[in-house]
């Protein structure tokens, strides 16, 4: 962890990092998806912070581990400034938003774990004959060349062993491979440093979701074959977990923005106005509710349906794709999270559309952020960031 604490000093020294490109490279190499090693050599820490830069909102949480049990000590969220993530990224707006979020949430740490947006990282599941680690890294790079047009020299590539199977004496390793353009990671480190923050590690959203819903404790919801759907503003993370083991992951290019656009189109509203109506008045009605409600509520429900059909179509396509994989077992139920699932009536709607039980994800941690409208319930928009904060806590 030495490298990180050094950088931490540089960052707190007025924000701008004075490091050379070479040391920066070393730094993010160690940070990006470093999985087991650091945990073994790092001094035992008991407080962790994570930031999720989502397309719709930036979220932060801080977790303390008290007598082995994690509890959330601070959290907060801020809207993503309009267009800030468009190319080229609006660095100034992002730094200002990060500064404000750190101040208002009251997190104590300045070293954070973060995730790369679902649309920026390319992940694939590959199977290779079991081989020594060094050879595996070379074989993975070779495989990546086949599915990403960008030269591998311009990518940061990491792999995670999910399982090893044996058939007729031949061992096969199932890998989750992630690749991100190196330039994007440089941008990430720079923006965080400018906001006075050090990136301790960059996590994968799918791993964060597995951790928060199936990793922290053996929850009954994770028994059997379970689909997890985190539906954000622009992307949806889809995972299949079988007997608590991560089996399949996919990023879908759809999210709550589809519903806002559909509402905007129906009423002829600007995006922001449509978003306000969705948040304040949006509700999906069951057949019984529709029969006993106002004309206005029925129209809002109707205006959301075009976006919903597209969302469900994409989700179904991914479920079918998973089902076509060798050895796939039928998904018994779904756990849902992400801001978009907070739309009233969404859980019931999805259960009907997928013809399977659907339940909200529940980390069950003391102090976890709660929904503004239903304070007894976990605020689903925090699932990814909470999972990232648990990165050093859950093996």
d(C-alpha 118, C-alpha 184), whole Å? 13
Residue tagged 């087991």 (tokens): 36
- Take residue 129 and report the two structure tokens written for it: 């004959």
Cβ within 8 Å of residue 165, ≥6 positions away: 171, 172, 174
Closest CA to 59 of 394, 389, 391: 389
Judged by CB under 6 A, the residue of 235, 251, 368, 388 near ligand ATP is: 235
Judged by CB under 6 A, the residue of 56, 76, 215, 227 near ligand ATP is: 56
Closest CA to 315 of 269, 356, 287, 267: 356
Nearer to Mg ion among residue 227 and residue 232 (C-beta): 232
With b for 16 or more beta-carbon neighbours within 10 A and e for fewer, the 5-15 pattern comes to eebbebbeeee
Closest distance to Mg ion from the beta carbon of 224 (Å): 26
Task: Indicate whether 54 belongs to the interface with ligand ATP (CB under 6 A).
Answer: yes
225 to 264: interface string for Mg ion, x by CB under 5 A = -------x--------------------------------
Task: Indicate whether 356 belongs to the interface with ligand ATP (CB under 6 A).
Answer: no
From the list 54-62, 96-104, 107-115, 310-318, the region that binds ligand ATP by CB under 6 A is: 54-62
d(C-alpha 345, C-alpha 187), whole Å? 39
d(C-alpha 257, C-alpha 235), whole Å? 9
From the list 51-59, 64-72, 207-215, 316-324, the region that binds ligand ATP by CB under 6 A is: 51-59
Judged by CB under 6 A, the residue of 94, 175, 343, 386 near ligand ATP is: 343
E-state strands within the chain: 47-53, 57-66, 69-79, 111-115, 122-129, 155-167, 170-181, 198-203, 225-231, 236-242, 245-252, 333-337, 358-360
Nearer to Mg ion among residue 78 and residue 175 (C-beta): 78
With b for 16 or more beta-carbon neighbours within 10 A and e for fewer, the 116-139 pattern comes to bbbebbbbbebebeeeeeeebeeb
Beta strands 170-181 and 155-167, pairing class: antiparallel
Count CB neighbours of 211 within 10 A. 24
Closest distance to Mg ion from the beta carbon of 54 (Å): 4
Judged by CB under 6 A, the residue of 232, 307, 361, 363 near ligand ATP is: 232
Nearer to ligand ATP among residue 175 and residue 212 (C-beta): 212
- Classify the phi-psi angles of 256: left when phi > 0, otherwise alpha if psi is within -120 to 50, otherwise beta: alpha
Judged by CB under 6 A, the residue of 225, 234, 318, 368 near ligand ATP is: 234
From the list 1-9, 52-60, 134-142, 211-219, the region that binds ligand ATP by CB under 6 A is: 52-60
Closest distance to ligand ATP from the beta carbon of 391 (Å): 17
**Among Mg ion, ligand ATP, none, partner that 361 touches (CB below 5 to 8 angstroms by kind):** none
**Among Mg ion, ligand ATP, none, partner that 387 touches (CB below 5 to 8 angstroms by kind):** none
Rg (CA), the chain: 21
Nearer to ligand ATP among residue 119 and residue 145 (C-beta): 119
Count of residues touching ligand ATP (by CB under 6 A)? 24
Torsional sign, CA 85, 88, 91, 96: negative
From the list 38-46, 151-159, 177-185, 340-348, the region that binds ligand ATP by CB under 6 A is: 340-348
Contact (CB, 8 A) for 340 and 259: yes
Beta strands 333-337 and 155-167, pairing class: unpaired
Closest CA to 214 of 335, 323, 322: 335
**Among ligand ATP, Mg ion, none, partner that 339 touches (CB below 5 to 8 angstroms by kind):** ligand ATP
Judged by CB under 6 A, the residue of 107, 178, 319, 340 near ligand ATP is: 340
31 to 70: interface string for Mg ion, x by CB under 5 A = -----------------------x----------------
d(C-alpha 300, C-alpha 292), whole Å? 15
Closest distance to Mg ion from the beta carbon of 12 (Å): 28
Judged by CB under 6 A, the residue of 19, 250, 278, 391 near ligand ATP is: 278
Would you tell me which residues interact with ligand ATP (CB under 6 A)?
Answer: 54-57, 117-118, 232-235, 255-257, 260, 275, 278-279, 282, 338-340, 342-343, 381
Would you tell me which residues interact with Mg ion (CB under 5 A)?
Answer: 54, 232
């Amino acid at each position: 962890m030495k490298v990180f604490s050094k950088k931490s000093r540089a960052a707190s020294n007025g924000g701008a990092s004075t490091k050379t490109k070479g040391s920066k490279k070393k730094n993010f190499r160690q940070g990006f998806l470093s999985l087991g090693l650091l945990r073994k050599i790092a001094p035992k820490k008991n407080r962790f912070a994570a930031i999720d830069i989502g397309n719709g909102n930036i979220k932060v949480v801080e977790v303390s581990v008290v007598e082995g049990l994690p509890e959330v000590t601070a959290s907060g969220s801020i809207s993503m400034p309009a267009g800030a993530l468009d190319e080229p990224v609006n660095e100034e707006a992002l730094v200002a938003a990060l500064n404000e979020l750190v101040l208002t949430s009251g997190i104590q740490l300045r070293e954070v774990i973060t995730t790369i947006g679902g649309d920026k990282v390319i992940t694939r599941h590959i199977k290779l004959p079991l081989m020594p680690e060094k050879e595996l890294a070379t074989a993975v790079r070779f495989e990546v060349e086949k599915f990403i047009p960008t030269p591998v020299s311009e990518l940061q590539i990491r792999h995670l062993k999910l399982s090893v199977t044996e058939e007729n004496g031949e061992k096969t390793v199932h890998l989750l491979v992630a690749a991100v353009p190196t330039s994007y990671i440089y941008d990430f480190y720079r923006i965080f440093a400018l906001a006075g923050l050090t990136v301790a590690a960059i996590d994968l959203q799918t791993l964060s979701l597995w951790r928060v819903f199936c990793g922290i404790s053996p929850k009954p919801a994770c028994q059997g074959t379970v689909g997890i759907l985190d539906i954000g503003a622009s992307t949806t993370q889809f995972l299949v977990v079988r007997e608590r083991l991560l089996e399949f992951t996919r990023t879908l290019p759809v999210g709550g923005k589809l519903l806002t656009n559909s509402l905007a189109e129906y009423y002829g509203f600007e995006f922001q106005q449509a978003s306000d109506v969705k948040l304040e008045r949006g509700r999906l009605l069951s057949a019984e509710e529709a029969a006993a409600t106002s004309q206005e509520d029925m129209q809002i429900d109707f205006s959301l349906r075009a976006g919903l059909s597209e969302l469900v179509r994409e989700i179904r396509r991914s479920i079918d794709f998973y089902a076509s994989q060798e050895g796939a077992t039928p998904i018994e139920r779904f756990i849902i999270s992400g801001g978009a699932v907070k739309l009233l009536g969404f859980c019931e709607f999805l259960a009907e559309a997928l013809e399977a039980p659907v339940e909200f994800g529940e980390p069950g941690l003391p102090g976890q952020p709660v929904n503004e409208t239903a304070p007894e319930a976990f605020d689903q928009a925090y699932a990814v960031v909470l999972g990232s904060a648990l990165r050093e806590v859950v093996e």
